[in-house]
Amino acid sequence: MMKSNKNKTSVQRFLIILLIVAVILAGGLVFISYYFKISQQKESAQALSAAKVGLEKALESNPTEEISINIGQITVKVKPQEQGGKRLFDFGGLKFVSDELPNVWLIGHTAQGELNPSESFPSNGKITICWGDSSQVGAATPPTLEVSLIYKDGANYKVIRAGFDPKAGRTVGFEGADDSGGGNCGNLAFAKNIDLASGTFTLPQKAVPYLLRLKLLYNSEAQPLAVSADNNLPNQGKCFDSTATITESKITRKIRQCQFFEAPPALFDYVLFSGGSLTK
């Protein structure tokens, strides 16, 4: 009987020891997990900070090829991406809030950023403007697009304005979109076709198209814009992709910043001669 009690006590002690060991192991694992999480967050923040430093250096030096910078144990690579110069321009994937004024240049620029009218989009060219992500197809309040085309007619600069609303009857004086079913300029919701040789945006003979101003209206969230054309659009600037990688952990952070050619302030449009009217 005494032996049985002794065995029972030994088993209980063994189970208690096992329980204590299990609690210690569990606590250790929680601590280790928390430590690694904090460490990863810290390294992620360091990588992001380094990526920003690399981006600042690239914006200062304006490189034409990828540059590499070492910051302690972090390697930063910044790659410039030319924007424009092709038939499709999507603003580097940026999105725009209501009343923001992105621009598409229809004449070229020199390497120093000066206007170069010798490189110009054809005055009889065709352009498709696309806007809104795929979630906007069939939306109750889809974004509307306002377009201003600035051109040079002889010695004078002039502007043509028009608006396009996918929702019929919502905006006085606005036309409808040509396509509201999605898949435009790749995957955007709406599209409007502009012909510089006929229709609303017909240019006078020998006029030179200079600039398209695009403005979204009624969108509560930032939405994408893109322009597709039947000829190559001039260069619009650059986007810089900065990628920072920590050597030991391989944690990587990436950021992008775009630097497009500057355009006159919006007030400039309203001192130009307008060939038509627009009611909002």
State the pLDDT at residue 158: 93
227 bridge partner residues: 89, 129
Q: With H, G, I as helix, E, B as strand and everything else as coil, classify residue 60.
A: helix
**pLDDT computed for residue 270 by the predictor:** 61
DSSP 188: B
Radius of gyration of the chain (CA): 29
Q: Is residue 10 part of a domain?
A: no
Tokens representing 247 are 């050597």
List pLDDT tens digits, range 83-105.
999 999 999 999 999 999 999 99
Query: What rounded mean pLDDT belongs to the chain?
Result: 88
* Interval 22-56: pLDDT, tens: 677 766 666 666 656 777 788 888 899 999 999 99
Which tokens sit at 186?
């790749």
Mean pLDDT, range 151-164, rounded to an integer: 94
pLDDT number for residue 38:
73
pLDDT at 107 over 50: yes
In a domain, 258, yes or no: yes
Say yes or no to pLDDT of 273 above 60.
no
Instruction: Inform me whether the pLDDT recorded for 276 exceeds 50.
Output: no
Residue range 227-267, pLDDT digits in tens: 999 999 999 999 999 999 999 889 999 999 999 998 877 76
Q: How confident is the model at residue 59 (pLDDT cuts 50, 70, 90)?
A: confident
To the nearest 10°, the Cα dihedral for 107, 133, 164, 205? 20
Q: Quick check: 147 pLDDT over 90?
A: yes
The pLDDT, as a whole number, for residue 18 is 73
Residue 113 in domain: yes
Q: How far apart are CA 136 and CA 149, in angstroms?
A: 25
Looking at residue 19, its pLDDT comes to 73
Q: Could you tell me where the beta strands, DSSP code E, fall in the chain?
A: 67-71, 74-84, 88-89, 95-96, 103-105, 107-109, 115-120, 126-131, 144-153, 156-164, 190-195, 208-217, 223-229, 235-246, 252-260, 273-274
- What does the alpha-carbon distance between residue 160 and residue 140 come to, in Å, rounded to a whole number? 29
What is the share, in percent, of the chain residues with pLDDT greater than 90? Answer: 68
- For the chain, what percentages of helix, strand and coil (3-state, to nearest 5) are there? 25, 40, 35
Phi, then psi, of 11 in degrees rounded to 5: -65, -45
Residue type, 189: A
111 burial (CB, 10 Å; 0-12 / 13-18 / 19+) is exposed
The span from the CA of 280 to the CA of 269, in Å, is: 16
What six digits make up the tokens of 256?
């992008």
Number of domains within the chain: 1
User: Is residue 41, in this structure, part of any structural domain at all?
Assistant: no
Is 32 within a domain? Answer: no
pLDDT attached to residue 5: 63
Higher-confidence residue of 273 and 215: namely: 215
**Top-confidence residue, 110 or 226:** 226
Query: What per-residue confidence (pLDDT) applies to 271?
Result: 60
Residue 27 included in any domain: no
C-alpha to C-alpha distance for 88 and 93, rounded to whole angstroms: 12
User: Which residues have CB under 8 Å from 19's CB, separation 6+?
Assistant: none
pLDDT digits (tens, 9 = 90+) for 175-204: 999 999 999 999 999 999 999 999 999 999
CB 208 within 8 A of CB 120: yes
Is the pLDDT higher at 63 or at 7? 63
Domain that holds residue 223: 75-274
206 inside domain: yes
In angstroms, the CA 51 to CA 68 distance is 11
Q: What integer is the mean pLDDT of 115-144?
A: 95
Question: Does 279 reside within a domain?
Answer: no
